[in-house]
Structure 1
C-alpha cells in the first residue's frame, strides 16, 4: 500500500473513489463531478494537504482536507474520509491519518477538525483513540416544503418589515446576532469562497437590520439564520425563513446541516416548524 498526497491525482479519480466509498452510506453522498468540485471549493479543499491510499496505482482510500484559519489557528478540516467497497475494515483509514499527520504539522497546521455521525461507533472509537475530543453536538434537520408550519399572523408589526437580498454583508454587524459560531461548512469563509452560490437576505425594521439568513438555492440548504435578541419571539424568524425558501423554488425540501444543539432557541424554532432530525453528529478536534 502506497500513501501520497492528492495534488497529482485527477478529480475524476478522486470522485470515482469517493462515490464508491459512500455508495452504501445512510446519507446520500454520491455526486456528479460539477457538484463535487463545487463542494470541495466551498470547504476549502487543499489537495496538497489531502492524502490517498493506493494499491497497484488505484486510489482505494482518501482523506480530503479543507485548510484555513479556525478560531485563530491554522486548521485542517476533514471534508471526507473514505475507503472503497471491498477494502473497508482493513485499517486503511488509520494508516492514512498516520501518514497525513506529519505532512500537516510540516505545513504549520496545528489543529484538526471533523464531524462524525453519532451512530458511527467504529469511527468514533478510531478518532478518540487518536486523541480527538468531542467539542460540540450537531444535528442535521430537514423538512418537506409543503409541511413547514410557518404560523405567521397578519400583524401590523410584520407588515413593517423589509426584506432585501444583499451582496456585501456587514459580517461584523451580522455576527452580533449569533448565539453560536456556525460550523466549518456554514462559516463565513465557506460563503465567501463561492459567493455567487448563495443568497443573503436581511430583514430590517425601518433602516435597522434586525436579522439575516443565507441559503444555497440550488440545494435548499440553509447555512445561517439569526435574529437580533431584542426581536425574537415576534415571528421575524418565521417570516425570514419563508422569504429565504422562496429563493429556492426548484427544491422540494429544505435542510440545515450542523445545527448546534447548544442553541436551544434555534432547535426549538426549527422543531416547531416541522423540521426533523436525520443525522446527529459530533464535532471533534485534535491539537497537534
Structure 2
C-alpha cells in the first residue's frame, strides 16, 4: 500500500466527510458529521483546512487529521482536533504518517506547543501519541447532572459578579491559557464570561459557559467550560460555588454539563459535591516543539 498525504484544502468536502465518518464509525461516542456540521466545527474550533491532512490509498481517502493553530499569551499552540483512520486501513501506519505530516507543519509554522485530548480507554492511540513525543499532562473529566444544582455554602465575603463576552476572561492575569483547546474563550463565540470581584473591585475568579437553545428558542441546557480563581484567594471553593450558581441559575430541571475540566481542579471537586457525575474521562497530552 502506497499512501499519499494531502492537505485538506486540496481535497473535496465529500472526501473529508467520507473518511471522517469511516474513521469514527466504531468510536466511543457518536461523532458522525454532515457537510454542514463539519464546516460549523471547523469554524467554531479554529480548525484550518490548510493545516489539516487527508491520507489516500490511490484515490480512496483512508485517514484524516484536523489541526488548528492559535496564539494565546504569546505562545503559539497547535491542536489535533481529531485523528481518524478507516477500519480497513488500520495498523498500516496511516495515523503515524498523518501525525508526522502535522508535526512537520507545526515546526514550519513556528508552533511552540502541540496539544490533543484522547479518551482514557483509547490505549492504542495514547501509546502512538507517546511514541510521537506527546506526554500526558492532565486528566480531564466531562461532568453532567439533570438534578437541581446544590451550591453548598456560598462565601460570606461581599463579592460582586458581572456577565460579559468570553474574550474578557483572556484579559484576566490568571486566565488559564493551558486549558483544553475547546474550553478556551476562542471556541465560545456564542458563550459568555461571569467574573467575580471582591469588595475593592479586583477580579478573583471567572467562569466560561454557554447556554444551548432549541429551535423554538427554549433554553435546554447549560455547559460550563472553565471556572478558575485567582491564586491569591483563600476561599477558592466558595468563589467557584458562587460562579457555578450564576452559570446554572434557572437550569435546575435542565441538562447541565461541565466540559473537559481538570479532574483535580477545585471546580471538579465542587461540582461533584453538588451532584454532578463523571460521564467521560480523557487525557490531555502535550508535546514541546
Q: Shorter-normalised TM-score: what interval? A: 0.7 to 0.9
Please, which runs of 5 or more residues in structure 2 have no aligned partner? 213-220
- Asked if residue 238 in structure 1 is aligned to residue 236 in structure 2, the reply is no
- Asked if residue 184 in structure 1 is aligned to residue 181 in structure 2, the reply is yes
* Partner SS, residue 27 of structure 1: coil
Distance 1:104 1:174, change over 3 A: closer
Match of 1:120 in 2: 122
CA distance in 2, matches of 1:260, 1:182: 8
Query: RMSD of the alignment, in Å?
Result: 3.2
CA distance in 2, matches of 1:233, 1:73: 29
1:210-221 aligned at under 5 Å gives the runs 210-218=204-212, 220-221=222-223
Match of 2:165 in 1: 167
Q: What's the CA shift for 1:267?
A: 2.9
Please, which runs of 5 or more residues in structure 1 have no aligned partner? none
The structure richer in helix per residue is 1
Distance 1:240 1:130, change over 3 A: closer
Distance 1:100 1:161, change over 3 A: closer
Alignment partner of 2:63 out of 61, 64, 86:
61
Residues 61, 83 of structure 1: 8 Å contact kept: yes
Match of 1:273 in 2: 274
Q: What's the CA shift for 1:61?
A: 0.8
Match of 2:216 in 1: none
Q: Give TM-score scaled by structure 1 length.
A: 0.80
Residues 163, 193 of structure 2: 8 Å contact kept: yes
Deviation readout 1:235-284 (Å, 9 max, x if unpaired): x43343233134779x9432223222343x23321221122223322222
Match of 1:95 in 2: 97
* Partner SS, residue 147 of structure 2: helix
Q: Give TM-score scaled by structure 2 length.
A: 0.79
Q: What's the CA shift for 1:68?
A: 1.9
CA distance in 2, matches of 1:5, 1:220: 36
